[in-house]
Structures are given as structure tokens and as C-alpha cells.
């Protein structure tokens, strides 16, 4: 498909996401050969894979670390779309946010499968959050667990869903591409002229190849030199329902939402804030008006956008801190800033739209 000539390397994240998804599906299918969904043997089978199966350790490390890169790329992909007004194409944007939600669910389900300490207690804590909803919450949690606690039935269900969801993600990714080919790509200059477009090959294919090479260099440096730097040492201990870890925290890509959850003293309020932190992306096309094609962001809006990025980074750091002062207070302030920035961005763009409309009309 012909694409604008001004596309930069920021547009590489889409192809990198497809590559990571393919790696995850391939390695995931191989990992299922050695896995058992029995709580008495699941942890032992993972240890057997690491120690006894030829290159089994490599298979698991690639699967775990590629998931982390996947989330990094999807956040960058969404951030680029937010920065350059990709949300103007609502169908493409909403399908992308839906892919993010399914990916979050898939990652959470997969993190439970090794049945280590953090896996077990993370599943217990996160699933128990649904009990905050009145009337139906507790019944839903019991149904999700398949019993009165996280047990063998829970592991079986999580394993089945974790195996199924990547194929659903792939199907939605294809739909995402169909909408993309219908509307075309946006670009940094905001131009919409067929005179400024070239074919995918060789210009953009070359950029994608450069991005893929850079990804593999960083990826294999992580895999072969420090594969567990982003993991939790507690998860190398078999799950024990009696001993609670001192500090339970999710993977780094969930820490910003986890910090928002902990910042609200009310359980139901924390769950609603957690959900709103992601579902807010569905409201972006409504909150932020569609950008005219030739208009660029003002300096003030650029400052707001980078302030949002900085807020998310700070919340990620706070999510890994203990639940104590001053981290709780800082998290509460940053949570208000996080949600406030979306509305301030919307108001700023509405003001900018009114100011620029006469110029555009002329």
C-alpha cells in the first residue's frame, strides 16, 4: 500500500509487534508440549524444562522476554498514535485498544502458569479484585476460580484461555490491518495527498528491516547475558498458599496500573480507577477532537503529551515500591495528574481547533 514519504522509524512498531506475536505463538506451542496443568506438577515441569530438555531454558527465556518487548512496543505504538492523532481513525484505534486489553489478559494468564509464589499470589490478588463489585462480584470470582480458592481448576482454565487468546489477538490484528488499509496511514506532517506517497518497497521495508535487526540485537543481549533481570526471584519458589511473599508486584508493564490501584484507599474505587486507566483510551477519540490534516501540535500540547509519558514512567516506578509513605501520597497525586492530563489535552485541542479553524478555512 502506498504510504506517505514522511513516515519515520516510529512507524516500525507495528511490524515489530507482528514479529513478536509470531515468536510468542511459535514458542508458546512448543512450551505446551512439556507443560502440565496440574498444580502438583506444574512447577516441577517448568523446572524440568529449564534443566533437562535440550535448549528448554532458551525456549522459556525467549517466550518470557519477548512478552516484555511486546508490551514495550505496544505502548510505544499507542503513544505514537496518540501523539500524531491516529485516534482520528476510530475503527482502527478502537480495534487496537481492544487488542491491548486482550494482550493484558493473556499476559496475566501466562504469568500464573509457572505456579511460582508470585504467580499464585498474583492470581489470588488480581482475581479477588472482582469481588469488590456489589451483588455479582463474589459469584464471578468463585466461577472464575472454579472453586472457593485459586486451585487446580483455576490453573486449567487459565492455561486454556492463555493458549486461545493469542490466536484471537492475531485475528483482531488482521482486522486492524484491514481498517488501516482502508483509511491509510497518518504521518508526522499531517498531509493527505496521493502525490506524497510511495510504495512499501524498498523505502519502508528497509526501515522495517533495520528496526527488526535492532530489536534482535537488544533482545538476544537480554536473553543471553541477563535473562532474568526483569523477573521476580520469588517466582523461583514453588507456590505455597500458606506463606505470603513480603512484596507482591506484577511485571513491569503492569506497574503503572498497579500503582493507580494501590493509590485509592477504597477497594471498589481502586478497581474502577485501574480499569479506567486503560479504558480511557476508548474515550480518546471523544475527548480529543479530530485533528485537521495540516495542523501540527502547539508547543503547549507537546509539553502535555510528554508530561503524560513522564507520569506513566513515575507511576511504573512507584508500582514497584512498598505500600508506605511517601510512595502512597505521591501515587495519589500522580494518579490525579494522569487522568487530568487527558482532559486538559482535550480542552487544549478544542481551543486550538477554534483558533486554527479560520486559518484552515482561508
Give the Å distances, CA to CA, from 86 to 77, 80, 141.
10, 8, 37
pLDDT tens per residue across all 362 residues of the chain: 777 777 777 888 988 999 999 999 999 999 999 999 889 899 999 999 999 999 999 999 999 999 999 999 999 999 888 888 778 788 889 999 999 999 999 999 999 999 999 999 989 989 998 988 988 889 999 998 988 888 889 999 999 999 999 999 999 999 998 988 887 777 776 666 556 777 777 777 888 889 899 999 999 999 999 999 988 888 888 888 888 888 888 899 999 999 999 999 888 899 999 999 999 898 888 877 655 444 455 567 778 888 989 999 999 999 988 888 889 999 999 999 999 888 887 776 555 555 454 444 33
- Residue 42, C-beta contacts closer than 8 angstroms, at least 6 positions apart: 35, 36, 113, 114, 115, 155
Residues of the chain with CATH 1.10.287: 250-362
Active-site pick, 207, 234, 267, 353: 207
**How many residues are there in the chain?**
362
Active site residue 185: yes
Nearest by Cα to 113 from 62, 150, 166, 65: 150
Determine whether 14 is exposed, middle or buried from the number of CB atoms within 10 Å of its CB (0-12, 13-18, 19+).
buried
Active site residue 350: no
Give the Å distances, CA to CA, from 11 to 76, 77, 81, 97, 180.
10, 8, 9, 17, 13
Sign of the dihedral defined by the CA atoms of residues 74, 75, 78, 80, in that order: negative
Domain at 250-362, CATH class: mainly alpha
- Joined together, the cell numbers standing for residue 318 give 512507584
Active site residue 63: no
Rounded to whole angstroms, how far apart are CA atoms 332 and 257?
Answer: 12
Nearest by Cα to 35 from 156, 132, 123: 156
Residues of the chain with CATH 1.20.810.10: 1-248
Active-site pick, 15, 124, 185, 277: 185
Active-site pick, 197, 232, 251, 349: 251
Radius of gyration over alpha carbons of the chain, in Å? Answer: 22
Active-site pick, 208, 232, 263, 349: 208
- Joined together, the cell numbers standing for residue 50 give 529449564
Active-site pick, 38, 139, 181, 333: 181
Superfamily per CATH, domain 1-248? Cytochrome Bc1 Complex; Chain C (1.20.810.10)
Amino acid at each position: 500500500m502506498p504510504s506517505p514519504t514522511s513516515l519515520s522509524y516510529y512507524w516500525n512498531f507495528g511490524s515489530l509487534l507482528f514479529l513478536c506475536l509470531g515468536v510468542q505463538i511459535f514458542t508458546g506451542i512448543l512450551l505446551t508440549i512439556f507443560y502440565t496443568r496440574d498444580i502438583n506438577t506444574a512447577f516441577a515441569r517448568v523446572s524440568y524444562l529449564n534443566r533437562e530438555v535440550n535448549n528448554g531454558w532458551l525456549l522459556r527465556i525467549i517466550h518470557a522476554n519477548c512478552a516484555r518487548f511486546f508490551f514495550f512496543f505496544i505502548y510505544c505504538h499507542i503513544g505514537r498514535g496518540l501523539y500524531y492523532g491516529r485516534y482520528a481513525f476510530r475503527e482502527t484505534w478502537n480495534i487496537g485498544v481492544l487488542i491491548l486489553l486482550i494482550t493484558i489478559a493473556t499476559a496475566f494468564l501466562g504469568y500464573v502458569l509457572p505456579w511460582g509464589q508470585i504467580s499464585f499470589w498474583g492470581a489470588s490478588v488480581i482475581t479477588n479484585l472482582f469481588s469488590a463489585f456489589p451483588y455479582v462480584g463474589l459469584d464471578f470470582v468463585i466461577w472464575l476460580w472454579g472453586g472457593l480458592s485459586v486451585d487446580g481448576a483455576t490453573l486449567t482454565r487459565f492455561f486454556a484461555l492463555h493458549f486461545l487468546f493469542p490466536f484471537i489477538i492475531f485475528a483482531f490484528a488482521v482486522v486492524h490491518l484491514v481498517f488501516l488499509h482502508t483509511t491509510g496511514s497518518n504521518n508526522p506532517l499531517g498531509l493527505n495527498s496521493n502525490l506524497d506517497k510511495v510504495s512499501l518497497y524498498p523505502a519502508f521495508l528497509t526501515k522495517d528491516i533495520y528496526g527488526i535487526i535492532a530489536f534482535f540485537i537488544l533482545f538476544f543481549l537480554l536473553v543471553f547475558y541477563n535473562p532474568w533481570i526483569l523477573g521476580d526471584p520469588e517466582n523461583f519458589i514453588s507456590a505455597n498458599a500458606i506463606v505470603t511473599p513480603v512484596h507482591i508486584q506484577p511485571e513491569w508493564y503492569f506497574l503503572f496500573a498497579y500503582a493507580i490501584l494501590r493509590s485509592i484507599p477504597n477497594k471498589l474505587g481502586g478497581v474502577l480507577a485501574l480499569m479506567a486507566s486503560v479504558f480511557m483510551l476508548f474515550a480518546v477519540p471523544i475527548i480529543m477532537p479530530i485533528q485537521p490534516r495540516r495542523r501540527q501540535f502547539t508547543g503547549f500540547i507537546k509539553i502535555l503529551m510528554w508530561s503524560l509519558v513522564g507520569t506513566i514512567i513515575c507511576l511504573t516506578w512507584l508500582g514497584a515500591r512498598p505500600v508506605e509513605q511517601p510512595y502512597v501520597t505521591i501515587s495519589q497525586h500522580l494518579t490525579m495528574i494522569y487522568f487530568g492530563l487527558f482532559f486538559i489535552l482535550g480542552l487544549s485541542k478544542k481551543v486550538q481547533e477554534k483558533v486554527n479553524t479560520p486559518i484552515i478555512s482561508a
